[in-house]
Structure 1
Amino acid sequence: MKYGSLILEKKEFVTLKRLLSLAGNHKDAARKNSVLRLQSEMETAIVSDEEDMPDDVIRFNSEVTVVSGDGWENNFQLVAPTESNYSNKKLSVLTAMGLAVMGYAKGDVIDWEFPGGAKSLEVKEVKQVKVESNQIKL
């Protein structure tokens, strides 16, 4: 990990904790395990003020490119569940992929258990997208 642990912005940390507490009741074992793993990683996360957030860290509204060793690549924008729109490549933070990448940085390699099996992903690109309001709609 580039920064030693996840890095989360203070308001996003609080929002994410709230979302995860609501999402922990899934029957799907892989998704439930993803929620539990992110909750565990958040216990040691670096929580920063907005102005101290590195530009290469994945957060709400970031545009992300991840690749796997087998040549698979995915581009998406990480969003709150209410903003999710698969056809516009807006992926909810509560999907397995969203849970896997939140708080990681460009260059990090993430080993994660997805519904289709374990995958090792490298974060190739992170771009911050400014939104009109810094409020995250739940």
Structure 2
Amino acid sequence: MNYNPIYITREDNSKLRLLIAAALHSNATASLQNLRRELDRAAIIDRESIPLDVVTMESRVEFEDLGTGEIETFSITFPDRADVEAQRISILAPIGIALIGCREGQIVSWSTPGGIRQLKIRRVTPAPTEVPHAQLAFTTTR
């Protein structure tokens, strides 16, 4: 560790601390607020009654980026199970929030730093009937 002193002006210190606070606050809170907005507008349906072509937690969704033509397949999962290399994305990722609850054939728009992306949901494979252990641990409240 470097113990040599560094020097920062009061003004720079204030601005840098605001930048850090804004980044820490907005990254986590924005995702949670966006997810809450999506949940607030959702129709709540029993698992047995949900159509098989709806993106749910742990379902696999194949989608096409209408801007690039790229086709990808991911499962939407809880943050502790997210692993891009294993094709599992967190529900808190902007794309996870955008896709949850949507249906095959639907076009979803979402904002990225590079602009608005549009994705067409090509195929949904329902979630396995057995809930992964990590999901049980995440959803249990005791």
Q: TM-score normalized by structure 1?
A: 0.70
> Residue 126 of structure 2 aligns to which amino acid in structure 1?
Q
- Segments of 5+ residues of structure 1 without an aligned counterpart are 1-24
Asked whether the 8 Å contact 1:56–1:105 carries over to 2, the reply is: yes
Residue 104 of structure 1: CA displacement? Answer: 0.6
SS state at 1:47 partner: coil
Q: Is the contact made by 1:57 and 1:103 (CA closer than 8 Å) also made in structure 2?
A: yes
**Equivalent-residue separation in structure 1 for 2:25 and 2:54 (angstroms):** 27
Aligned to 1:9: none
Checking the alignment, whether the CA contact within 8 Å between 1:64 and 1:75 is kept in structure 2 is yes
Rounded to whole Å, the distance in 2 between the matches of 1:109 and 1:37 is: 18
Backbone CA RMSD of aligned residues: 2.3
Q: Distance in 1 between matches of 2:52 and 2:107?
A: 17
- Unpaired runs of 5+ residues, structure 2, are 1-23
Q: Where in structure 2 are the equivalents of 1:21-60 lying within 5 Å?
A: 26-28=25-27, 32=30, 35-60=32-57
Identify if the C-alpha distance between structure 1 residues 94 and 118 changes in structure 2 by more than 3 Å, giving closer, same or farther.
same
What is the deviation of 1:117? 2.4
- Give the distance between the partners of 2:92 and 2:113, measured in 1 at CA: 13
SS in 1 for 2:41: coil
TM-score, scaled relative to structure 2: 0.68
Bigger proportion of residues as strand: 1
Which has more helix, going by share of residues? Answer: 2
Q: How far apart, CA to CA, are the structure 2 residues paired with 1:133 and 1:38?
A: 21
Cα shift readout 1:30-86 (whole Å, capped 9, x = no counterpart): x82x54343223222110111111101101111111112221222111111111111
| 1:6 aligned residue | none
Q: Please say if 1:127 is aligned against 2:89.
A: no
Separation (CA, whole Å) in 2 of partners of 1:45 and 1:79 = 18
Aligned to 1:112: 110
> Who wins on radius of gyration, i.e. which is larger?
2
State how many pairs are aligned. Answer: 112
- Distance (Å, rounded) in 2 between the aligned partners of 1:40 and 1:132: 28
Percent sequence identity over matched residues?
Answer: 26
Distance in 2 (alpha carbons) for counterparts of 1:101 and 1:78: 8
Determine if contact 1:35/1:99 at 8 Å carries over to the other structure. no
